Chains A and B, each alone.
Chain A
């Protein structure tokens, strides 16, 4: 358990939310994604929401000594840190030394900085699946001993340990685990909504799911709102990339199991993975980087996909699938294996009833 930040540094109502954003073992994509937030004036949106960026590696002027001074001010209780945002996995290697990522200019491993700053922060947020679970950086044989802030894949622990908690706004007696704004990258809306809700004191630990993800996006499935739902219903399946059919049966799609609102809160204006013609690889889920099969193909046993929809008993799935396949309309069947509509919906000559 983390010592409470000193009372003199408590944020009073009306004061901006001080956010420090650091990057470790990631690709910077979560930051680049954030810049795609759907607003005509991103800095204005932050300011209006009461979010103050103390420092961000891509967006701030300060370089070198100025940044180190700022972090030392936080450590010495001279500067209030409301939210510490970490993007990228925490690199513990080689052999636990953390030398795979030394914070430039400081001669110290980034994991040291993150541990010390976390102890001062009122809230700690993992931005992206790398910081949440280790993510893609923990792929293969995990050569860098990468982990997340409070998880290693789905296992609690990570850099800060299972029991790590922060107080949120002092006086509220809340105990916060690391907030896991998971996704690879994470959606700009997920980050912005989380920070705006925190600035407005509108989020509580109860608003996080069992994996620490904000429920406003994690209580949904990628499957919801997918444009291929009609194909799914009839098990009319895509056989190759760019086909319009459902990608669950053959193409490796995990949309029925992946917690995220990608098909109702679209990406970059109008996209999602499934709308882009390729499978959801469940990038918000712990361990997505190691599915145990090639990403682009659905693993099956006796012709039945292993990864069935989360809430569906296998026997029911098999029964419904064979029934719906036999009932597939010609239109749905043909369009499923084409990249554009080859059989349009019929036009009735009489009024619709």
Chain B
């Protein structure tokens, strides 16, 4: 068996810089090494700063999930101030949920229409029966649905124009709520905008009411729904058609635990989507033990050779470190690799369709994308509820004076999965700030034991066609995670 090596990059339609090294033998990937090729050093920059400055800095880690970074920072500061989610004014909680949901759903939309589906318009698929339609809809800068989705996304983000002043890098996200009070007329206009987005989803993406999609409770129900109309009736059906033709359910498999911190805090302090660690073998969602989270820098160009809890974590670049191949550390949960993302959220929250599909084929290209689309159907109605529940005239935030000394944690969900900030304050200044982003988990390198990260594992066995320099199946697998490399290495 002869092994050839492929270096794939620049890998685009992902956020940030990614290079993948593939060892290929017998037409399949034999081993993969994932390299996040850019380092910016936010954890270093934040040292010594006023803790509130994190709210200016951390959203600028990432222009695609900046609100998620803001929310994680705000929650960490809230934790430092000793304020519980229940202690926040209800309006503030709703405003933060709304801003986070607006961004997360926009990310799902952008991912599907602009990042993931364009790969099915590549010439290699020209002989497939669905190709002409896929090309007409999703070709970059041309496809009519890609263009409509871009317009829908622009309109959708006007919600953040109102609630957050601007996007990305809104600063209205505060530890105790939101800096932007909205009035009655604004509340009604925002509801109108949510309905406008709903109409795009129901007409173009789903060709069905959101509630009909959200209530699909098994793979059999999904397949029956798919067959009720022409195979390209709506973009979800076309995706199912392509997924079944190309067996995307067999591609990029993961079987490890799936991590979610839970999303969208409700009045009782509980998340609207419950978090947990999905254990595939037992078919159970177990509580997340935060003490079991570590980061290992063995194969990162960073100092350190043993796993550290994020509270004790350090980030010191060492570009000449032998055996290192990425700027990303390797996060581990009780020493194990974990996958995170919409599929993890839906598994832990117990959505029957995703649990059913994953039980059969594990996480894979198909279930990752399906879970994201399902979230579009599930979260828009939640946003309508939150908007109806806001009370103009009542407070939007609670002041949060900070102590001189604190150890605090801020956990939230970005579109791509579990995002955690660990903050230590000493003498009123930031003494340590560690960020573990969703893509840090998914695109983790090998750890001290040599165990590859989730993507590195998912790429093993992926087919490589003769002559391919940038294997298209590899691209499907990588993009199914919707990686955010700038968050990963921050």
Which residues of A are at the interface with B, using a C-beta cutoff of 8 A? Answer: 23-33, 35-44, 46, 53, 57-68, 91, 94, 97, 99-106, 110, 136-137, 139-144, 146, 184-185, 240-242, 262, 266-279, 281, 283, 294-296, 339-340
Contacts and interface: CB of A to CB of B under 8 A. Distances in A.
A39 B153 CA distance: 11
6 contacts: A57-B12, A61-B121, A67-B12, A94-B317, A102-B37, A268-B161
A10 B162 CA distance: 45
Given A37-B154, A99-B319, A104-B19, A29 B62 contact: yes
Contacts of A276: 163-166, 170-172, 179-180
Contacts of A91: 38-40
Interface of B: 7-13, 15-19, 35, 37-41, 44-50, 52-53, 55-57, 60-64, 66, 110, 114-115, 118-119, 121-122, 139-142, 147, 150-151, 153-155, 157-158, 160-172, 174, 177-181, 183, 317, 319, 392-393, 395-397, 399, 469-470, 475, 486
B181 A64 contact: no
B168 A32 contact: yes
B57 A139 contact: yes
Contact of A58 (B13, B52, B121, B161): B13
B322 to A, nearest CB: 15
A55 B42 CA distance: 28
A101 B52 contact: no
A36 B167 contact: yes
A27 B60 contact: yes
Q: Is the interface of A mostly helix, strand, loop or mixed?
A: loop
Nearest to A293: B50
A90 to B, nearest CB: 12
Contacts of B50: 294-295
A273 B470 contact: no
B122 A28 contact: no
Contacts of B118: 61
B168 A185 contact: yes
Nearest to A22: B10
B397 A241 contact: yes
Nearest to A273: B165
Contact of A268 (B18, B35, B150, B166): B166
Nearest to B69: A27
A145 B397 CA distance: 38
A173 to B, nearest CB: 34
Contacts of B392: 340
Contact of A294 (B11, B13, B53): B53
Contacts of B179: 241-242, 276-278
Given A104-B18, A137-B40, A277-B178, 5 more contacts: A29-B62, A32-B63, A242-B180, A269-B162, A270-B162
A32 B177 CA distance: 25
Most A C-beta atoms less than 10 A away, residue of B11, B140, B166, B397: B166
A64 B64 contact: no
A29 B66 contact: yes
Contacts of A101: 17, 37-39
A42 B166 contact: no
Given A57-B12, A94-B317, A104-B37, A266 B174 contact: no
Given A62-B12, A241-B397, A271 B183 contact: no
Nearest to A296: B52
A345 B165 CA distance: 25
A94 B165 CA distance: 37
Contacts of A32: 63-64, 168
Given A38-B154, A59-B141, A270-B158, A140 B171 contact: no
A228 to B, nearest CB: 13
B166 A272 contact: yes
Contacts of A340: 181, 183, 392-393
Contact of B110 (A26, A35, A60): A35
Given A143-B317, A276-B171, A267 B166 contact: yes
Contact of A242 (B63, B147, B178): B178
Given A103-B10, A240-B399, A33 B37 contact: no
B161 A267 contact: yes
B142 A43 contact: yes
Contacts of B63: 26-33, 185
Contact of A241 (B66, B121, B169, B174): B174
B172 A63 contact: no
A167 B399 CA distance: 54
Ranked nearest first, the 6 interchain pairs of A and B with the lowest CB-CB distance are A276-B165, A29-B63, A105-B9, A104-B9, A268-B161, A140-B45
Nearest to A71: B10
Contacts of A63: 8, 10-13, 470, 475
B443 to A, nearest CB: 13
Given A29-B60, A64-B10, A267-B165, A104 B17 contact: yes
Contact of B19 (A42, A105, A268): A105
B470 A64 contact: yes
A295 B53 contact: yes
Contacts of B395: 339
Contacts of B154: 35-39, 42
Given A64-B470, A242-B178, A278 B161 contact: no
B40 A25 contact: yes
B69 to A, nearest CB: 9
Contacts of B60: 27, 29, 136, 184
Contact of A64 (B11, B122, B162, B319): B11
Contacts of A31: 63
B480 to A, nearest CB: 15
Nearest to B36: A104
A67 B18 CA distance: 14
